[in-house]
Structure 1
Amino acid sequence: MNSEKAVKLYWMLPIWGWLIFVILVLGCEESQRNETVNFPNDISYNLHVRPILSENCFTCHGPDANKREAGLRLDKEEDAYAALAESPGKHAIVPGDPNSSMAFLRILSDNAEEKMPPPSSNLQLNDHQIKLIKKWINQGAVYEPHWAFVPPKKPQLPKVKNEEWAKNELDYFVLEKMEEADLRPSPKADNLTLSRRLYFDLTGLPPNPKDLDQMAESPIDVGETVDRLFKSKAYGEKMAVTWMDVARYADSHGYQDDYYRTQWPWRDWVIHAFNENMPYDQFITWQLAGDLLPEASMEQLLATGFNRNHKITEESGAIDEEYRVMYAIDRTNTLGKAMLGVTLECAQCHDHKYDPFSQKEYFQTYAFFNNVAEWGIEESTPGFSKKSPAKYPLMEISETTAKEVLQFINMPDSVSRMTRMMTGMLKGANYNSLLKESTVLKVAVMGDLDSTRSTFILERGEYDAHGEQVEPGVPASIFPFPENLPKNRLGLSKWLFDANNPLTARVYVNRIWQEIFGTGLVDTPGDFGLQGNLPTNQALLDWLAVDFIDNGWDIQYLLKKIMLSATYQQSSNVNAESFEKDPDNRFLARFPRRRLKAEEIRDLVLATSGLLNDEVGGPSVKTYQPEGLWEAATSGRGNLSIFQLDTGQYLYRRGLYTFIKRTVPPPNMMLFDASNRDACEVERLKTSTPLQALVMMNDPVVLEASRVFAGRLLKKDDNVEVGVNYAFYSVIGRKPDESERTILMNHFETFLNEYNEDNSKAIKILDVGKFPLTDEIPVAVHAALMQVIALIYNLEATITKA
């Protein structure tokens, strides 16, 4: 509504109409001022126009030839400028002349049969979008290649006002955006906060009180701390957590009967590779094509287990070829999401509707994974005696192999554990034969057929609807496959790490940024395509990507570069001005607070209580879960039909090693947004629900840890206040202030009085978990301190990285 209409409305209203008049006029003027401020002088196709066309037009006028209407394609300039097939002499876009541009005129049309987007689509451009398109056409309708498909170049450092704040190159790019938004950086975080942040980011564990004491005394040397934490075995475990999501690692096959699978030696390799700081290009090459490397070693072959982590069926009635195709499709989609950061899977059944990927290119990429010497159906029996085709090709690992060749595999104790586990699962089985078989681990790895399996475009994506035969290839819009590379998985890996590939480095750098700051520079990490969000700071992303490549794809170098920046070392405290101007912290004028991952919450609780078993590697463990859940949610068949809780020290392993049965993933971890590993996942959901609070208040892991921690503190010193201070310091990473100390001690006294009146309540509270109870401590005192520690574990600050 403009000002003239508002005036007319005023004279038509009763006396109170002047209030509406004032509101409308002021609102119109404010809206016009905002539009003037926000409307750009120079219109960019990538920044301003492409998102509008992609959202509203490309479904019918984009890359998908099968769905294209009127033969019009608006995502390519030569097609958009060309004469219209149905209206010779007319053009969809006429640079410099919106009034002759039929696409623009159809947007303005009031005729329902002509208007675009059509009313039936429920899409409609607003005035701001229409003005952007009009001005873009007036300025020449210049198309630009999609930013993510152009190889990154290292930009010059931007000029900033506050140069003294910057510690390294990253800060210049971040500060430039801050200053443009009229924001100022936050002060440096205090030593204890920064220490806790570094420990969680590099080990997934909190610093212990001795470490905190040392770092509280003098300014923290970030570089020295980072280098020291890189040497910890926990570093590889921390890094492996994210890669398990990407690699869709699980301990069962999935689908209905959901049998047990032995892929954990591959997980041991991943931990080892990170601890050895294997360069990213080598890390990926070994996993995609280790078996194709010259004179491939056992380690290189084991690494290819990455490709075999997908779900496998055990149903006797399943169609073998249907599932074999599904496995190859899974690998193709995983490549697209994990390494390229694109929605390649959208081209399985038809040409991609938004990105320039054809269905033919999809199946050319699929061809790289279609030659594996495998079957589609897993045939299992309770005794594991029958051949299991879907697991082949297999790699066998004996105790001797692990001892002499693959020393990083946690083998000796693992064999006896697996034997105990299987004897518990398989009633009536021949235990002697099981024992003999369990001394040799069988891991699914890659291995191609001696001959070449033909690959066809699958019409509508159906496994048996063969169309045109295709050779291995890739989406040319990303980067054409060089003729000198072999058309196999090794060649595919070389293509990924070719200097002309625009995506590989950007995608991984963005994922590392996401791990540290909670959100990537591209906040759609699985979609760098036309429907994905633009980078908040493309110059920084490109600088990081090129720098990563120039430094040999060194992951630890990348992490250290980020952690040495002033951006990383900022306080996470929020001031009113910063929050008002940038509530989502997109410009990073403060360090973002984020909740710890499900695995990290478990690890913190176990580590601070003293329960943590820090053994590295080995098979997964089954920890506490609601009784009967496993059995109620499964088919009742297979060697995982009955839940068997682990015992002893294995109950207290890190979250990384928690047993993941795909059909019944661990509920306490799922409530904290962990992945069920059905498919490749490059970003976990971020939810906040009451169920999470209920987990922290009732999970046996938390309660048992509280009991054990309380017992250890009281056994060491019967001064409860000393114990409360120590517990708070251990868990939160700082000492409690006077107010906090008073609340915690009052909490203790309240429970102590209650339990002194009725010892049976204390006994019931202490009866949790399998760890032996400390008998010599009075139950009332023990239970009351346990409740205080449980409260500390339930604080928001406990499960937040600040």
Structure 2
Amino acid sequence: MPSRLLSFIPVFVLLIIASSCDDKGAETSSLKNVDQVSYNFHIRPILSDKCFACHGPDANKREADLRLDTEEGAFAALKESPGKFALVSGDPEKSEVVHRIYTEDLGELMPPPESNLVLTDEEKELITKWVKQGGKYEPHWAFVKPQKSSPPESNGWGTNEIDQFTWAKMKEQGLKPNPQAKPHELIKRASLDLTGLPPSPEILDRFGDFSGELSYEDLIDGLLADPAFGEKLGILWMDISRYSDSYGYQDDNIRTQWPYRDWVIHALNANMPYDQFITWQLAGDLLPNPTKEQILATAFNRNHKYTEEGGVIDEEYRIEYVLDKTNTVSKGLLGITMECAQCHDHKYDPLSQKEYYQFFAFFNNSPEKGYEGDVSQSKPAKTPILWVDQEDLSGILNFINHKDTTDLSISVMDELEGDEKRTTFILDRGVYDAPTVPVEPSTPSSILGFDDGLEKNRLGLAKWITNENNPLTARVFVNLIWQEIFGAGIVKSAGDFGMQGDLPTHPELLDWLAVDFMENGWDIKRLLKQILTSATYKQSAIIESDHLSKDPENIYLARAPRLRLPAENIQDLVWASSGLLVREIGGPSVKPYQPEGIWESATSGRGVLATYVQDTGKSLYKRGLYNFIKLTVPPPKAIIFDSSNRDRCELSRGRTNTPLQALVMMNDPMVLEASRVLASKLNETTKDPEAAISEAFKRIVCRDIASKELDILENYYEDQVERFGENPDQIKSALSVGEYPLDDSAITKETAALMQVIVSIYNLEETITKS
């Protein structure tokens, strides 16, 4: 074990000021005392989990020709038992479903024992009570157009409508909201949420307790106007759009899609309305007289993996690419697991295989190929390509950060027309070479019928997706923004709003926000300001015993969440607080510090990415968003902190807690370099260890240090001064980590000791936690 780690452990233990309270499994409230049983919120989840696999939408797997997912099927006479009915409204005794879930005859019991599915007593009681109350079916809540209901009355707590909805849920659960967080907590929280960067000591001092000229609202407005805003929210969109810097598969060679990433940052900073943001990405090339910017946005569709392997079947991989586009749009924009219908009718949602390939047809007329060229020449299926020259970079595409004089090529979308246009077929079992029935482009009728007046191409699809009557689009995006802020969406399964997905915890609030979002021009920054100025957001994160016992997962938001930062923002915090961060927006992706051998162990040995070549200079200190993403070897540090590996569309990240994360924070060159550079800078400005430690603490933790904390760190500093004094040969080696130049005058035992103190501050839980 390295000596620096051994010397660090004692102070690290001492500095666990506040232990984390990890959320455990959800404790769902009992449903036995529900007065009015709801099909959507009580019965459908049970049937979807336990019954729909055999009695649902998939005709190929349906048993006894019985459908329980539709009212017509459930109340029809049973074909195998004439005179009997699965359900009889108001009469559980005559309902075969009720009989079958209670019977002790294993030959009749449902679900059958061999399915390994069991209904709880509570679930049986709910089904019986529902049948007794009439067995009323309802359309799936997510497929019904959201309505903007009046916010419930509150006791005067709160600042806007969001609080009225959350207060009502708290009241139902016997909870009371937390008091407002301290000003420095709000400043740090808002800064991390909107820019992904910690507030500087100057910002903390300037806003203070908000009693001066600058208010909390001024803070929010300033953060929303900061160019770092687009970089922070851009991380979410890179996960959705499966952005990477390589093609994936065996050779996994380099590709240049980063101008698309620059466009996303630009569009978000310009507060492009979300409906336009989607439309340009889906079909910018099909707009009237499209500009190069609109065409560039369509790179969204082309971010999937491409094979460069020799001997592949062109059509097989072309179909794979179209499937990826289809699944990305259905999951990322509509929150539906449509891919489940590639091989057969969806088992749980009302989506047929025919409807899947009708949706697939919108993407089936791009002129791209499955494979092009031989592997030794590394010519992937790039076409169609957008060429960007110097004139573009000085004009309409001036947001692209390209200092090189060479032209850029980006894989974008185009559309086959006339005789070249492909016919789309339903593929038997989803196999590329098993076409059956031809289909025209269309959309699932259960969501929203496709208007005959719309173009039967991606532009028509974009108009359908952004139609105010589409029940999913606004809900899904509002939920994603909620997830970004609170750690979990109002619908926890952000990528699945279907019948197998989680029910919304605050359905009326979700609908109110979705409608309000559309009514106000799909304004992303307005939505974020609405959330961040709510009393719900501004609560303290202190966990009271009452909260913990009644709501361990903080579902009802009677406190602010305590969340570890996303992987990219941990890097951002370290570089920013040390003064090393390079605030340059966009540009080619960079290769940061990385352990030797990892890259080479997962490569074919061919192409320009066969060997890892670390970047140097200021590129090393750019934000985590710009780290080079090789699909077969994603950045290991980011993966350790639960980033997406980007090989497919992802709407949510996990938040694990592993020893590897602690080892990264204690030993990674990034943290060690930042610590020694900050130590050197502080020692240049002051010779007072107390002042230097206090300044470092404020820069990193974003608050003034408490006297007890200062005492601990000062004692540790003195211990380290003594250690390095006794071992002067260790000073230079401790201070030589990283590429940033080291001044000879900084090679002192005091700088080395202060560096160790700063490392310990970076390793505080509070440092990388938003609370």
Q: If the length of structure 1 is used for normalisation, what is the TM-score?
A: 0.91
Question: Match for 2:241 among 237, 247, 250?
Answer: 247
**Counterparts of residues 207-356 of structure 1 (less than 5 Å):** 207-219=199-211, 221-356=215-350
Counterpart of 2:414? Answer: 447
Q: Which residue of 2 aligns with 1:661?
A: 630
C-alpha separation between the residues in 1 aligned to 2:667 and 2:93?
Answer: 67
Match of 1:715 among 667, 684, 705: 684
User: Which among 122, 125, 137 is matched to residue 128 of structure 1?
Assistant: 122
Which residue among 373, 388, 391 is the counterpart of 1:397? 388
What is the deviation of 1:101? 1.2
Say which SS state the counterpart of residue 375 (structure 1) adopts: coil
Q: Helix, strand or coil: the match of 2:205?
A: helix
How far apart are the structure 1 equivalents of 2:745 and 2:315? 64
**Residue among 642, 665, 668 paired with 1:696:** 665
Give the corresponding residue for 1:154.
Answer: 148
> Is this contact kept in 1: 2:582–2:622, CA < 8 A?
yes
Mapping of residues 85-124 of structure 1, within 5 Å: 85-124=79-118
Residue 762 (structure 1) shift: 1.9
Structure 1 portions without partners, runs of 5+? 1-33, 417-438
Residues 285-684 of structure 1: pairs in structure 2 closer than 5 A? 285-379=279-373, 388=379, 390-412=381-403, 415=404, 439-450=406-417, 451-684=420-653
Alpha-carbon contact 1:399-1:411 (below 8 Å) kept: no
AA of the residue aligned to 2:314? D
Match of 1:182, as an amino acid? Answer: G
- CA distance in 2 between partners of 1:379 and 1:321 (Å): 15
What SS does the corresponding residue of 1:89 show, helix, strand or coil? coil
Q: CA deviation at 1:218?
A: 3.4
Give the SS at the match of 1:771: coil
CA displacement 1:249-275 (0-9 Å, x = unmatched): 000000110000000001100000001
Query: Does the CA contact (< 8 Å) of 1:203 and 1:238 recur in 2?
Result: yes
The equivalent residue for 2:757 is 788
Q: TM-score, normalised by structure 2?
A: 0.94
Deviations 1:431-489 (A, max 9, x none): xxxxxxxx011000000112320101111111111111111011110011111111100
Closer/same/farther in 2, CA of residues 361 and 777 from structure 1, 3 Å limit: same
Q: Identity percentage over the alignment? A: 56
Amino acid at match of 1:664: V
- Give 1:381 deviation, angstroms: 6.3
Call closer, same or farther: CA 1:718–1:378 in 2, change over 3 Å: farther
Contact 2:310-2:375 at 8 Å conserved across structures: no
Per-residue CA deviations over 1:375-421 (Å, capped at 9, x if unaligned) read 0114366776xxx4611000001122211221100012xx27xxxxx
Note closer, same or farther for the CA distance 1:325–1:383 as it changes in structure 2 (3 Å cut): closer
1:202 aligns with 2:194: yes
Q: Residue 499 of structure 1 aligns to a residue in which SS?
A: coil
Aligned residue in 2 for 1:21? none
Say whether 1:62 aligns with 2:56: yes
SS of alignment partner, residue 88 of structure 1: coil
Question: Aligned-pair distance for 1:777?
Answer: 2.5
Kindly state the Cα deviation for residue 228 of structure 1 after the two structures are TM-superposed: 1.3
SS in 1 for 2:665: helix
Assess if the C-alpha contact under 8 Å between 2:249 and 2:307 holds in 1: yes
Amino acid of the residue matched to residue 401 of structure 1? D
Q: Distance in 2 between matches of 1:466 and 1:286?
A: 31
Deviation at 1:105, TM superposition (A): 1.3
Q: Which moved more, 1:723-732 or 1:211-220?
A: 211-220
- Counterpart residue identity of residue 656, structure 2: T
**2:72 counterpart of 1:78:** yes
Q: Displacement of 1:222 after TM fit? A: 2.3
Indicate conservation of the 8 Å contact 1:312/1:378, yes or no: no
User: CA offset at residue 40 of structure 1?
Assistant: 1.1
Per the alignment, in what secondary structure is the counterpart of residue 679 of structure 2? helix
- Distance in 1, matches of 2:713 and 2:361, equals 62
- Distance (whole Å) between structure 2 residues aligned to residue 612 and residue 382 of structure 1: 39
> Could you tell me whether the CA contact under 8 Å between 1:349 and 1:458 is conserved in 2?
yes
Give the Cα separation in 2 of the matches to 1:645 and 1:567. 44
Alpha-carbon distance in structure 1 between the residues aligned to 2:544 and 2:434: 60
Report the Cα distance in structure 2 between the residues aligned to 1:379 and 1:213, rounded to whole angstroms.
60
8 Å CA contact 1:254, 1:661 repeated in 2 = yes
Q: 1:185 to 1:378 in 2, by over 3 A?
A: farther
Q: Are the counterparts in 1 of residues 310 and 374 from structure 2 also a CA contact under 8 Å?
A: no
1:646 maps to amino acid: D
Task: Give the alignment's Cα RMSD to 1 decimal.
Answer: 1.4
Kept after mapping to 2: 8 A contact 1:222/1:563? no
Deviations 1:339-386 (A, max 9, x none): 1001111111111000000011001000000000110114366776xx
CA contact (8 A) 2:32 2:122 kept: no
The residue number in structure 2 matching 1:193 is 185
Alignment of structure 1 residues 13-92 onto 2, 5 Å: 38-92=32-86
Structure 2: runs of 5+ lacking an equivalent? 1-27
Deviations 1:571-609 (A, max 9, x none): 111122222221111111111110000010000000011
Distance in 1 separating the partners of 2:469 and 2:704: 52
Shift of 1:69: 0.5
Q: Give 1:449's aligned amino acid.
A: L
Note if contact 1:370-1:453 (Cα within 8 Å) is conserved in structure 2: yes
Q: Distance in 1 between matches of 2:152 and 2:410?
A: 50
Partner of 2:656: 687
Once residues 222 and 150 of structure 1 are traced to their aligned partners in structure 2, the CA distance between those partners, rounded to angstroms, is 37
CA distance in 1, matches of 2:326, 2:58: 20
Distance 1:107 1:193 in 2: 52
- Which protein shows a greater Rg? 1
Question: Bigger CA drift: 529-538 or 222-231?
Answer: 222-231
Letter in 2 for 1:647: T
Please tell me whether the aligned partners of residues 196 and 232 of structure 2 are also in contact (alpha carbons under 8 angstroms). Answer: yes
Contact 2:210–2:216, Cα closer than 8 Å, also in 1: no
Q: Aligned pair in 2 of structure 1 residues 357, 37: CA closer, same or farther (>3 Å)?
A: closer
1:382–1:639 CA contact under 8 A, matched in 2: no
Q: Among residues 132, 152, 160, which one is paired with 1:168 in the alignment?
A: 160
User: Within 2, Cα distance between the matches of 1:262 and 1:379?
Assistant: 18
Amino acid across the alignment from 1:335: V
Once the two structures are overlaid, the 10-residue window that deviates more, 217-226 or 654-663, is 217-226
Aligned partners of 1:37, 1:300: CA distance in 2, in Å?
51
Give the aligned residue type for 1:205: L
Would you say the 8 A contact 2:582–2:623 is kept in 1? yes
* Cα distance in 2 between the residues matched to 1:35 and 1:64: 32
CA distance in 2, matches of 1:378, 1:789: 52
Amino acid in structure 2 at the alignment position of 1:605: V
